[in-house]
Amino acid sequence: MRLQINSHAENVGFQIAPMIDVVFVIMLFFMVMAGAVKIENELNTQLPGTAATSTSTDFVDEQIITISDIGEVSLNDEPFDTPQSKELPELRGTLMRLKQNADAAKTPAVVTIISDEQAKYSRTVDVLDALAVAKIDNVTFTVAEEE
């Protein structure tokens, strides 16, 4: 028994069923991916702009204490005490009045210490002791800029 193979195979033609399957798979892919995309109006972003306030804003008045390389201490370019004075009584009195005025005005007392690179650390500690006696705790440190 021999099977004969027909050499005149019929033209099968265009098959629509596989094409429909492919289209459905692609459509399913895009439907799933569309759910994963965030919509822009759902993002919590605020653009910069101006804010209207009903009351005026008070800016903090910063006091600057400078310590020179020889130990001179000055508050807002006004020298206080001598370089040999460890207790700094004039500076302490001025800082205590500054703190009282700041408390009365309900504003923070802000002090920046600008120390020369060659200034002794013990002099900076003396200034910090004077600030501690005056109960000023909002202190910032920086180093003098080269001219």
- Looking at residue 69, its amino acid is D
State yes or no: pLDDT of 145 exceeds 60.
Answer: yes
What tens digit of pLDDT does each residue of 95-143 get?
999 999 888 888 888 999 998 888 888 898 999 999 999 999 889 888 7
Whether the Cβ atoms of residue 144 and residue 114 lie closer than 8 Å to each other: yes
Sign of CA dihedral 71, 77, 82, 86: negative
Does the pTM surpass 0.75? The reply is: no
pLDDT tens digit sequence for 28-56 = 998 888 877 666 666 676 777 766 666 65
Average pLDDT over residues 82-105: 88
CA distance 86 to 1: 123
User: Which CATH class for the 62-143 domain?
Assistant: alpha beta
Q: Which H, E and C letters describe 64-125, residue by residue? A: EEEECCCCCEEECCEEECCCCCCCCHHHHHHHHHHHHHHHHHCCCCEEEEEECCCCCHHHHH
